[in-house]
Amino acid sequence: MAEISQGGGGGKKGGGKVRVKKASTKIDMTPMVDLAFLLLTFFILTTTFNKPKTMEVNMPDKVQDEKEQTKVNEKDILNLVLSENNKIYWYIGLTPPVTTTNYGKDGVRKVLLEQNRANPKLMVLIKPEDKSKYENMVDILDEMEITNTKRYAIVEYTPDDKTIIAAGTGGAPLETETTQP
Protein backbone atom coordinates (compact mmCIF):
# COMPACT_ATOMS: atom_id res chain seq x y z
CA MET A 1 0.00 0.00 0.00
CA ALA A 2 2.12 2.84 1.23
CA GLU A 3 5.80 2.42 1.51
CA ILE A 4 8.63 4.46 2.81
CA SER A 5 11.87 4.37 0.89
CA GLN A 6 14.92 4.13 2.99
CA GLY A 7 18.10 4.76 1.28
CA GLY A 8 21.55 5.41 2.53
CA GLY A 9 21.54 7.59 5.54
CA GLY A 10 23.18 10.83 6.04
CA GLY A 11 26.29 9.98 7.90
CA LYS A 12 29.27 12.17 8.56
CA LYS A 13 31.34 13.20 5.66
CA GLY A 14 34.31 15.04 6.56
CA GLY A 15 32.62 17.90 8.34
CA GLY A 16 30.80 17.89 11.56
CA LYS A 17 27.29 18.37 10.19
CA VAL A 18 24.82 15.53 10.19
CA ARG A 19 22.34 15.61 7.36
CA VAL A 20 19.15 13.61 7.54
CA LYS A 21 17.90 12.37 4.22
CA LYS A 22 14.15 12.88 3.78
CA ALA A 23 12.20 9.72 3.18
CA SER A 24 9.83 9.76 0.17
CA THR A 25 6.42 8.05 0.24
CA LYS A 26 4.68 6.11 -2.55
CA ILE A 27 0.95 5.45 -2.61
CA ASP A 28 -0.33 2.55 -4.67
CA MET A 29 -3.40 3.87 -6.59
CA THR A 30 -4.52 0.51 -8.02
CA PRO A 31 -7.22 -0.13 -5.37
CA MET A 32 -8.60 3.40 -5.90
CA VAL A 33 -8.93 2.85 -9.67
CA ASP A 34 -10.56 -0.52 -9.06
CA LEU A 35 -13.07 1.09 -6.70
CA ALA A 36 -13.85 3.86 -9.20
CA PHE A 37 -14.58 1.37 -11.98
CA LEU A 38 -16.63 -0.77 -9.62
CA LEU A 39 -18.81 2.21 -8.66
CA LEU A 40 -19.12 3.31 -12.29
CA THR A 41 -20.24 -0.18 -13.31
CA PHE A 42 -22.70 -0.33 -10.42
CA PHE A 43 -24.37 2.98 -11.31
CA ILE A 44 -24.55 2.17 -15.03
CA LEU A 45 -26.18 -1.19 -14.41
CA THR A 46 -28.68 0.04 -11.81
CA THR A 47 -29.80 3.18 -13.64
CA THR A 48 -33.17 3.19 -15.35
CA PHE A 49 -33.51 5.48 -18.31
CA ASN A 50 -36.63 7.56 -18.91
CA LYS A 51 -38.65 6.39 -21.84
CA PRO A 52 -39.90 9.21 -24.04
CA LYS A 53 -43.57 9.92 -23.58
CA THR A 54 -45.48 10.17 -26.80
CA MET A 55 -48.98 11.31 -27.50
CA GLU A 56 -51.00 8.74 -29.37
CA VAL A 57 -53.22 10.06 -32.13
CA ASN A 58 -55.40 7.49 -33.85
CA MET A 59 -56.25 8.38 -37.41
CA PRO A 60 -59.51 7.09 -38.91
CA ASP A 61 -59.62 4.86 -41.94
CA LYS A 62 -60.41 6.50 -45.25
CA VAL A 63 -64.05 6.11 -46.16
CA GLN A 64 -64.71 5.53 -49.84
CA ASP A 65 -68.49 5.83 -49.73
CA GLU A 66 -70.25 8.92 -48.33
CA LYS A 67 -73.06 6.75 -46.99
CA GLU A 68 -70.59 5.15 -44.56
CA GLN A 69 -69.51 8.51 -43.10
CA THR A 70 -70.83 9.49 -39.71
CA LYS A 71 -73.07 12.53 -39.81
CA VAL A 72 -72.68 15.12 -37.04
CA ASN A 73 -75.23 17.80 -36.19
CA GLU A 74 -74.02 21.36 -36.70
CA LYS A 75 -74.86 22.27 -33.08
CA ASP A 76 -72.55 19.50 -31.84
CA ILE A 77 -69.44 20.94 -33.53
CA LEU A 78 -66.96 23.20 -31.75
CA ASN A 79 -64.51 24.80 -34.19
CA LEU A 80 -61.09 25.81 -32.85
CA VAL A 81 -59.03 27.85 -35.31
CA LEU A 82 -55.39 28.09 -34.25
CA SER A 83 -54.12 31.47 -35.38
CA GLU A 84 -50.86 33.36 -35.24
CA ASN A 85 -49.73 35.22 -32.08
CA ASN A 86 -51.03 32.36 -29.89
CA LYS A 87 -54.69 33.20 -30.51
CA ILE A 88 -57.54 30.75 -30.80
CA TYR A 89 -60.80 31.64 -32.52
CA TRP A 90 -63.68 29.40 -31.55
CA TYR A 91 -67.29 29.12 -32.61
CA ILE A 92 -70.06 26.55 -32.58
CA GLY A 93 -71.54 25.21 -35.78
CA LEU A 94 -71.05 27.16 -38.99
CA THR A 95 -72.19 30.61 -37.90
CA PRO A 96 -70.80 33.42 -35.75
CA PRO A 97 -70.41 34.69 -33.04
CA VAL A 98 -66.69 34.04 -33.03
CA THR A 99 -64.81 34.41 -29.77
CA THR A 100 -61.07 34.80 -29.20
CA THR A 101 -59.24 32.99 -26.42
CA ASN A 102 -55.73 31.87 -25.48
CA TYR A 103 -53.96 28.66 -24.46
CA GLY A 104 -54.11 29.22 -20.69
CA LYS A 105 -56.21 27.35 -18.17
CA ASP A 106 -58.71 30.21 -18.17
CA GLY A 107 -58.71 30.23 -21.97
CA VAL A 108 -59.27 27.19 -24.17
CA ARG A 109 -59.41 24.75 -21.24
CA LYS A 110 -62.32 26.64 -19.70
CA VAL A 111 -64.09 26.75 -23.08
CA LEU A 112 -63.66 23.01 -23.61
CA LEU A 113 -64.86 22.12 -20.11
CA GLU A 114 -67.94 24.37 -20.39
CA GLN A 115 -68.86 23.14 -23.86
CA ASN A 116 -68.37 19.48 -22.89
CA ARG A 117 -70.61 19.99 -19.86
CA ALA A 118 -73.28 21.69 -21.98
CA ASN A 119 -73.16 19.14 -24.81
CA PRO A 120 -71.91 15.58 -24.15
CA LYS A 121 -72.04 14.79 -27.92
CA LEU A 122 -69.55 17.58 -28.69
CA MET A 123 -67.15 17.07 -31.61
CA VAL A 124 -64.15 19.42 -31.71
CA LEU A 125 -62.62 20.40 -35.05
CA ILE A 126 -59.06 21.69 -34.74
CA LYS A 127 -58.13 23.92 -37.68
CA PRO A 128 -54.55 25.23 -37.66
CA GLU A 129 -53.83 28.20 -39.91
CA ASP A 130 -50.68 28.27 -42.02
CA LYS A 131 -49.12 30.88 -39.71
CA SER A 132 -49.84 29.04 -36.46
CA LYS A 133 -46.97 27.41 -34.60
CA TYR A 134 -46.35 23.70 -34.14
CA GLU A 135 -46.17 24.38 -30.39
CA ASN A 136 -49.79 25.56 -30.50
CA MET A 137 -50.86 22.27 -32.09
CA VAL A 138 -49.14 20.30 -29.34
CA ASP A 139 -50.71 22.57 -26.70
CA ILE A 140 -54.22 22.06 -28.07
CA LEU A 141 -53.75 18.28 -28.19
CA ASP A 142 -52.59 18.43 -24.56
CA GLU A 143 -55.75 20.37 -23.69
CA MET A 144 -57.86 17.68 -25.37
CA GLU A 145 -56.23 15.11 -23.11
CA ILE A 146 -56.52 17.27 -19.97
CA THR A 147 -60.21 18.04 -20.53
CA ASN A 148 -60.91 14.41 -21.46
CA THR A 149 -62.33 15.37 -24.85
CA LYS A 150 -62.60 12.10 -26.77
CA ARG A 151 -64.11 13.28 -30.07
CA TYR A 152 -61.87 15.62 -31.98
CA ALA A 153 -60.38 15.88 -35.43
CA ILE A 154 -57.60 17.85 -37.07
CA VAL A 155 -58.92 19.34 -40.30
CA GLU A 156 -57.73 21.86 -42.86
CA TYR A 157 -58.34 25.57 -42.47
CA THR A 158 -60.52 26.57 -45.42
CA PRO A 159 -61.53 29.88 -47.02
CA ASP A 160 -65.02 29.31 -45.56
CA ASP A 161 -63.50 29.37 -42.07
CA LYS A 162 -61.71 32.58 -42.98
CA THR A 163 -65.04 34.16 -44.00
CA ILE A 164 -66.83 32.95 -40.85
CA ILE A 165 -64.10 34.40 -38.62
CA ALA A 166 -64.12 37.71 -40.51
CA ALA A 167 -67.91 37.97 -40.19
CA GLY A 168 -67.89 36.89 -36.55
CA THR A 169 -65.16 39.28 -35.41
CA GLY A 170 -66.45 42.17 -37.47
CA GLY A 171 -63.09 42.68 -39.12
CA ALA A 172 -61.43 42.06 -42.40
CA PRO A 173 -60.71 38.49 -43.40
CA LEU A 174 -57.58 37.02 -41.89
CA GLU A 175 -54.53 37.05 -44.13
CA THR A 176 -53.46 33.47 -44.65
CA GLU A 177 -51.83 31.67 -47.48
CA THR A 178 -53.91 28.93 -48.98
CA THR A 179 -52.58 26.44 -51.42
CA GLN A 180 -54.83 24.96 -54.03
CA PRO A 181 -54.01 21.84 -56.02
One digit per residue, the tens of pLDDT, for the chain of length 181 reads 556 555 555 555 556 677 777 777 888 888 899 999 999 999 999 988 887 777 676 666 776 666 666 777 778 888 888 888 888 888 888 777 888 888 888 888 888 888 888 888 888 888 888 888 888 888 888 888 888 888 888 888 888 888 887 776 665 444 433 333 3
Q: CATH code for 73-169?
A: 3.30.420.270
| Beta strands 88-92; 99-101: pairing state | antiparallel
pTM score: 0.59
The residue ranges of every structural domain in the chain are 73-169
